[in-house]
Chain A
Amino acid sequence: MNGIASPAVLTPASYKSAYKPIWCPGCGDFSVLSSVTKALAKVGVPPQDVVVVSGIGCSSRIPAYTSCYGFHGVHGRALAAGTGLKVARPELTVLVAGGDGDGYSIGGNHFLHACRRNVDLTYIVMDNHVYGMTKGQASPTTEPDWDNKLSPGGTGIRSFHPLVIALASGANFVARAFAGDPNGTAEIIAAGIRHPGFSFIEVLSPCVTFRPEQRLWKQHAHPAPVGPTDDPARAARRIMTDDGFNIGILYAGDRTPYPTHPGNAKRTPADLETEFEL
């Protein structure tokens, strides 16, 4: 299943495991899984050199559905685990994946600092504006007036705007994708992987079970009217004034990524003793 040797030519099928996802039929996450496999095939890195790190939730089930190495961690901490992994093993390709609840609520703090740190990771959030796994509570990106059991009548508070936060905090690549456009999403993910530094891709991924009205998203999603900019101010203005459905790479900067190539060891541990010697 996961242990196939890399074939001479890597195709999307090379990155899919034999495990069938338990996502509800119609879930946007199927599309994202397909996009991830296409992106990895396009980039051409062998599955054993890729690690998919996730938290808890429906979207976070994704590692087992790929034939890459996977780390299914605890709720909200995927970015922290992914950061540690990438800094310790910089030659690996590290994808961090999860949902909006996992990533923006409990994971919010780590999200801010991952953007600041700008480690060369690719963070894919499957945003469906709801906590799916626990049966339908409002997430940070849920609209303020969405009625649900935990917050009857809606939370009443402004929804989170991850793209702006990412941009302001230091992410080097900010994009919005749509699960209804798997090929487009694959392109964006491939670009994100290739782009140095922290690449953040928010994928609008409808939840057919708890947010069936999101099937209307495919009528609203459209390519962004202009291409990416490397000017944070211009990107900020665009992101803050768009309709929430601009699909594409919105910002691709040249912020210095976190250095992950420590110098070669020039000393042995024993050399450290000199400091203590009398």
Chain B
Amino acid sequence: MTARTTAPVATRALTSAREAVSGISIALAGSGGSGVMTAGTLLLDAAAKAGLYGLMVRTSGPQIRGGEAAALVRLARAPIDTLDDRFDLLLAIDWQNVNRFADEIPLDAASVLIGDPDEGETPDVFKSTGACFVARPLKKTAKAIPGSWTNMVALGLAGALAGLPAAALEAAVRDSWKRTSEALKANLAALQAGMDAASGIHGVPELPKGNAPAGRRWLISGNEAAGYGAIRGGVRFVAAYPITPATELLEWMAPALAKVGGTLLQAEDELASVNMIIGASYGGVPSLTATAGPGLALMTEGIGLACSAEVPIVVVDVMRGGPSTGIPAKSEQSDLSFAVSGLPGDAPRLVLAPTSIADCLETTQWAVELAEALQAPAIVLSDQFLGQSRAIIDRPADADFVGRRLTATANTPDYKRYRDTASGVSPMAIPGTAGVVYTADGLEHTEAGVPSSQPKDHRTQLDKRERKLLRHDYGRWWADIEGDGDAAVITFGSSTAAAREAVARVARMGLDVRLIALRLLAPALPERLAAALNGVARVLVVEQNHGAQLYRYLRAMYDLPGKPASFHRPGPLPLRPGELATAIVEWTNAGVRKKASA
């Protein structure tokens, strides 16, 4: 189906998402002790209680404590996984170094800017956006209520402006309370004072009431979701080495694993963690570790070992700004090339990428299932945005992805660990099983597992390890394919949500674009992508990195129709729906002009 208009599409309508208010975006900012992260979390919680959905992203300066920080919150009536193009409200408890976040908090003339008149001048970078400035003495208000905190005033103010019911805001504060009841009383009073301060402020759109069910929804981060997905998939051993932004995934798993009878072991480094999980998995226990780019680099040799010895492992790579130490606390999708091809030798492996915070659960769970079923290493490409942001999601449906390893029965006659089977998967003997003893090896080996340098054996085993991945039926999970059109946007990971919103926006203007969000990146499945691209004449590959890594990978591994185009930008700023929508339209117009001039 072609675009409903053959004329170039106007781009100006794309820059305002306010026609269809799909949500409201609030930024809370302040420096040390101001408690904006907590306020943002409570705002999100209140929205949940009010039947809404929401997403919170944190950003901060380099200090461990006391630095400048901002909570970026988007609330809506339907689940959201991306920030919008702009913010409706920036509420600053103080302005200390908040100008550092200017690029992350785009404002315009329709935005509202609230600051405390006792906390200094509003930085020019915010004033010059034309946002409407309103003064509210947040600190004084809190001081007038002994024992209360300024962030509670801010919470009340922001919540009221967003149209959140007072009951929901109050409940959020109560539920989170850990201190004395006098302090609670004082802070509820501060909350109310904040709500009262909202009167007289105009310009912040109010959210319509939410109607999402109270039960069966979660407030969760991508890291937590991935950890839980791993446990659901059957992981019972984790080796851990802390690294930003994966540490929380491991920290969440430590007590969780213990509860279900598993173990987490803190390793001395990533070389140790990857080899520890290989050892545990060789022993029959589904195993996982989590890391980021620099750690993944160290795990390379281990992943190759897992590939060659056919030992299942799952490595979650919570991607961050690269290369090398890069930008540890910011997101980027720049480990893709390394994940799909960064191993010495011909070493096929599974690479998956969750498309949203909720999907971190299912995709990690699926990765465990695949790794176990195919006796291969699986890399899960999450990223800092998914991992460290919190969202209100519908409880994910139970998925039947449970790791089931094909194991050898005792005393199998003529047992060969690496037997060249039709599927490529050969039964794996688990230590403790009689009569099927073998030695696993990173060296190339015969079917029996004896080291070999023979051409026949090398060929057989290379074919086997490749075949087992290619022959597997990945079902419908390998990609999300949405919509129709002779143009398609292909993306992966955290860019999916922004691309999806962009596609929705251009559809409202009469431009139909298909969206393909790849969940399985390796092995490449040419036939399935060809089917997904049936009727598509041109593709735009969207990703958050400098080297157009997905674009190059797709061009290498697949036949893409027409002249494939690429939209790619490195971190640290996330891709936004508006810029993607503009890019889609410009790309479409270019195509239309080409057609017209042909």
Give A contacts to B, CB under 8 Å: 22-25, 56, 58, 72, 74-76, 105-106, 108, 131-135, 137-138, 140, 149-152, 155, 209
Nearest 6 pairs of A and B residues by beta carbon: A106-B269, A134-B242, A149-B251, A105-B268, A22-B62, A137-B242
User: Which of the segments B63-71, B158-166, B281-289 contacts the partner chain?
Assistant: B63-71
Contact of B64 among A106, A151, A155, A209 (CB under 8 A): A209
Query: A22 CA to B64 CA in the complex, in Å?
Result: 8
Closest partner residue, chain A, to B63 (CB atom): A22
Given the contacts A74-B325, A134-B243, A135-B247, A24 and B255 also touching, CB distance less than 8 Å: no
Q: How far is the CA of A152 from the CA of B241 in the complex (A)?
A: 15
B250 touches A150 (CB 8 A): yes
- The residue in chain A whose Cβ has the minimal distance to the Cβ of B269 is A106
With both chains docked as a complex, state the minimum distance between the C-beta of B260 and any C-beta of chain A, in angstroms.
15
With A75-B294, A137-B242: A150-B63 Cβ-Cβ less than 8 Å = no
Residues in A with CB closer than 8 Å to B573 are none
Cα A134 to Cα B247 in complex, Å, equals 7
Are A24 and B63 interface neighbours, CB within 8 A? Answer: yes
Q: Which residues of A contact B268 (CB under 8 A)?
A: 105-106, 108, 140
Residues of B within 8 A of A150 (CB): 240, 242, 247, 250-251, 254, 264, 266
Q: Is B201 an interface residue (CB 8 A)?
A: no
Q: Is the Cβ of B64 less than 8 Å from the Cβ of A132?
A: yes
| CA–CA, A209 and B65, complex, Å | 8
Inside 8 A of B251's CB, which chain A residues have their CB? 137, 149-150
Give the most central of B65, B242, B270: most A CB within 10 Å.
Answer: B242
* Complex Cα gap A166–B557 (Å): 52
B258 close to chain A: CB less than 8 A = yes
CA distance A137 to B242 in the complex (A): 8
Q: Is B423 an interface residue (CB 8 A)?
A: no
The yes or no answer to B534 lying at the interface (CB within 8 A) is no
| Cβ-defined contact, A74 with B294, below 8 A | yes
Q: Judging by beta carbons under 8 Å apart, are B258 and A137 in contact? A: no
Contacts of B63 in A (CB 8 A): 22, 24
For the complex, give the distance between the alpha carbons of A75 and B269 in Å.
9
Q: What chain B residues lie within 8 Å of A23 (beta carbons)?
A: 64
**B324 at the A interface (CB under 8 A):** yes
A140: which B residues are within 8 A, CB to CB?
268
Contact of B247 among A72, A132, A137 (CB under 8 A): A137
Tell me if B244 is interfacial: C-beta within 8 Å of chain A: yes
Bound Cα distance A134, B324 (Å)? 17
Contact string, B231-261, partner A, CB cutoff 8 A, digits 1/0? 0000000001111100100110011001000
Q: Which residue of B lies closest to A135 (CB)?
A: B247
Q: Report how far A150 CA is from B244 CA in the complex, Å.
A: 14
Q: Mark B51-65, 1 if CB is under 8 A from A, else 0.
A: 000000000001111
On chain A, the residues within 8 Å of B65 by CB distance are 24, 209
Interface pairs (10), CB distance under 8 Å? A22-B67, A24-B63, A56-B325, A75-B243, A76-B269, A105-B241, A105-B268, A149-B254, A150-B240, A150-B247
Additional 6 contacts, C-beta under 8 A, given A150-B247, A151-B254:
A22-B62, A22-B67, A23-B64, A74-B294, A108-B268, A152-B258
Interface of B is mostly: loop
Q: Which residues of B contact A72 (CB under 8 A)?
A: 325
Within 8 A of A (CB), among B269-292: 269-270
Chain B residues with CB under 8 Å of A209's CB are 64-65
Binding site for A on B (CB under 8 A): 62-67, 240-244, 247, 250-251, 254-255, 258, 264, 266, 268-270, 294, 324-325
The answer to whether A131 and B242 touch (CB under 8 A), given A22-B63, A24-B64, A140-B268, is yes
Contacts of A106 in B (CB 8 A): 241, 268-270
Which A residues are in CB contact (< 8 Å) with B269?
75-76, 105-106
Q: Using CB atoms, name the residue of chain B closest to A107.
A: B269
- Most A CB within 10 A of own CB, among B64, B254, B325: B64
Contact B294 A134 (CB under 8 A): no
A55 → B minimal CB distance (Å): 10
Output the least CB separation between B552 and chain A (Å). Answer: 26
- Report A-chain residues with C-beta under 8 Å of the C-beta of B325: 56, 72, 74
A262 to chain B, nearest CB (A): 31
Q: Which residue of A lies closest to B297 (CB)?
A: A74
Please pick, from A24, A132, A149, the residue contacting B66 in the complex, using a CB distance under 8 A. Answer: A24
Determine the chain A residues whose CB is within 8 A of the CB of B64 once the complex forms: 22-24, 58, 132-133, 135, 209
A144 to B258, CA, bound (A): 18
A126 to nearest B CB, angstroms? 14
Most interface-central of A131, A140, A150 (chain B CB within 10 A): A150
Tell me the smallest distance from the CB of A141 to a CB of chain B, in Å. Answer: 13
| Cα distance A249–B23 in the bound complex, in angstroms | 64
A155: which B residues are within 8 A, CB to CB? 266
| Nearest-CB residue, chain A, relative to B295 | A75
> What residues of B have a CB within 8 angstroms of the CB of A134 in the complex?
242-244, 247
Nearest residue (CB) in A for B244 is A134
Taken together as a complex, chains A and B put the C-alpha atoms of A72 and B268 apart, in Å, by 21
Shortest B230–chain A CB gap in Å is 16
- Contact partners of B242 in chain A: CB under 8 A: 131, 134-135, 137, 150
Q: How far is the CA of A135 from the CA of B329 in the complex (A)?
A: 13
Give the residue of B241, B266, B270 whose beta carbon is less than 8 angstroms from that of A151.
B266
A22 to B61, CA, bound (A): 10
In whole angstroms, how far apart are the Cα atoms of A25 and B33 in the complex? 14
Chain A residue at minimum C-beta to C-beta distance from B246: A134
Smallest CB–CB gap between B213 and chain A, Å?
Answer: 32
A131 CA to B63 CA, complexed, in Å? 15
Interface centre among B62, B240, B258, B266 (most CB of A within 10 A): B266
Q: What residues on A are CB-neighbors of B255 within 8 Å?
A: 152
Whether the Cβ atoms of B254 and A152 lie closer than 8 Å is yes
Q: Which residue of A lies closest to B241 (CB)?
A: A106
CA distance A25 to B268 in the complex (A): 29
Is there an interface contact between A137 and B294, defined as CB atoms closer than 8 Å?
Answer: no
User: Measured between alpha carbons, how far is A76 from B266 in the docked complex, in Å?
Assistant: 16
Cα–Cα, bound, A40→B194 (Å): 55
Q: How far is the CA of A138 from the CA of B268 in the complex (A)?
A: 11
**Please, which residue of chain A has its CB at the minimum distance from the CB of B67?**
A22
Give Cα A58–Cα B266 distance, bound, in whole angstroms: 20
Interchain CB contact under 8 A, B254 and A74: no
Give Cα A150 to B66, complex, Å. 24
Contact of A138 among B66, B266, B270 (CB under 8 A): B266
Smallest CB separation, A215 vs chain B (Å) = 16
User: In whole angstroms, what is the CA distance A155 to B242 when docked?
Assistant: 14
A151's closest neighbor in chain B, by CB?
Answer: B266
Residues of B within 8 A of A76 (CB): 269
Cβ of B247: which chain A residues have Cβ within 8 Å of it? 134-135, 137, 150
Closest to A76 in B: B269
Query: Which of chain B's residues have a CB closer than 8 A to the CB of A22?
Result: 62-64, 67
What is the bound-complex CA distance between A206 and B120, given in angstroms?
35
Which residue of A has the minimal Cβ distance to B272?
Answer: A106
CB distance from B244 to the nearest CB of A (A): 6
Of listed A72, A149, A152, residue having the most chain B CB within 10 A? A149
Nearest residue (CB) in B for A138 is B266
B266–A137 CB distance below 8 A: yes
The smallest C-beta distance from A217 to any residue of chain B, in angstroms, reads 19
Say how far A143's CB is from chain B's closest CB, in angstroms.
14
Docked CA distance A155–B67 (Å): 31
Residues in B neighbouring A137, C-beta threshold 8 A: 242, 247, 251, 266
A135–B388 alpha-carbon span in the complex (Å): 14
Min CB–CB distance B132 → chain A (angstroms): 35
Q: Provide the bound-state CA to CA distance between A74 and B66, in Å.
A: 26
Q: Which residues of B contact A138 (CB under 8 A)?
A: 266
